[in-house]
Structure 1
Amino acid sequence: MHETKSEAVRAATRTRQDAGVWLTLQAHDAPALIDFLVGTVGFRRTAVYQDGEIVEHAQLDWPEGGGVMLGSYRPDSPVTLMPGTAGAYVVTDHVDALYRRLADAGVRITREIQDRPYGSRGFTIQDPEGNAWAFGTYRGEPA
């Protein structure tokens, strides 16, 4: 039996890990930041809408849930976010392997991998725009 397109969309929606909060960024060189986050860090390129070098909107999903939305920096936009000023925390069950892969790729590590007193193991990097990305095992406290 073949799935119809709407059945496939419903199935994908049921299995996707929805995130209620999304980090948003603007970048001086959005295509390069997308390439870094996808090719080096490991995000998935879900959607990119661009006109030449200007990225109107991009959605990058983290394989373990959640993601980031970003676009090109536009100082005249009603919603302007200064590139390089964001910080994000990304949960991963594979923190040691991710750390080794990013270190081997020459990514700027700003906090070495370590165990934290609140039960997390993690590290922090800086992306080419200057944003801080912390990766760790801590999933937050139960509500």
Structure 2
Amino acid sequence: MTDTKTPPPQVWPTLRANDARALIKFLVEAFGFEETVVYGEGDRVDHAQLSWPLGGGIMLGSADRGPGDQWPLRPGTFGAYVVADDIDALHARAVTAGAEIIRPPQDTDYGSHEFAARDPEGNLWSFGTYRGEPRAGD
């Protein structure tokens, strides 16, 4: 879906992971995020950006970054709703990759077809067709 009136996303949800490299691999394989960039050495990830095919994305990094950590998010406490087009195919992909499905595909009373899953770190992901309501003036 191309919308020339909507600017590119400028809000990037962030999360931390105990095993950031494994989480990146899972999010790419299970849900279809695209690995855009990963900085860090060895098992440590200082910064990663995963892009979502329909726009936007997330940023993540390793949780154990030592004293003085200025972004001390606990792994497994993140939750996000992500807009997707083919929910049933995405659900099948997630199941194949081993995602814990916490709500199978269903239709909602607000017109979305969606499902919810938990990643190996414990984060909650909801994928649906609902694109949100237009802002006033749109």
Fold match (TM-score > 0.5): yes
1:53 to 28, 43, 48: 43
Match of 2:14 in 1: 24
Q: Does 1:133 align with 2:125?
A: yes
Q: Does 1:78 align with 2:70?
A: yes
Offset at 1:75?
5.7
2:107 to 96, 104, 115: 115
User: 1:64-75 to 2 correspondence within 5 Å?
Assistant: 64-73=54-63, 74=65
Give the residue type in structure 2 aligned to 1:91: V
Q: Normalising by structure 2, what TM-score?
A: 0.87
Conservation of the 8 A alpha-carbon contact between 2:100 and 2:119: yes
Deviation digits for residues 78-135 of structure 1, max 9, x if unmatched? 1110000010111001111101221233321001110011111100000000000000
Give the residue type in structure 1 aligned to 2:108: R
SS at match of 1:138: coil
SS at match of 1:141: coil
Match of 2:94 in 1: 102
Q: Please, what is the CA RMSD of the aligned residues?
A: 1.5
What is the alpha-carbon distance in structure 1 between the residues aligned to residue 17 and residue 98 of structure 2? 21
Identical aligned residues as a percent? 56
Q: Normalising by structure 1, what TM-score?
A: 0.84
SS at match of 1:79: coil
What is the alpha-carbon distance in structure 2 between the residues aligned to residue 114 and residue 43 of structure 1? 22
Mark the structure with the bigger radius of gyration. Answer: 1
What is the alpha-carbon distance in structure 1 between the residues aligned to residue 92 and residue 42 of structure 2? 34
Give the residue type in structure 1 aligned to 2:90: L
Match of 1:9 in 2: none
Aligned length: 128
Question: For structure 1, which segment, 71-80 or 92-101, has the greater mean C-alpha deviation from structure 2 after superposition?
Answer: 71-80
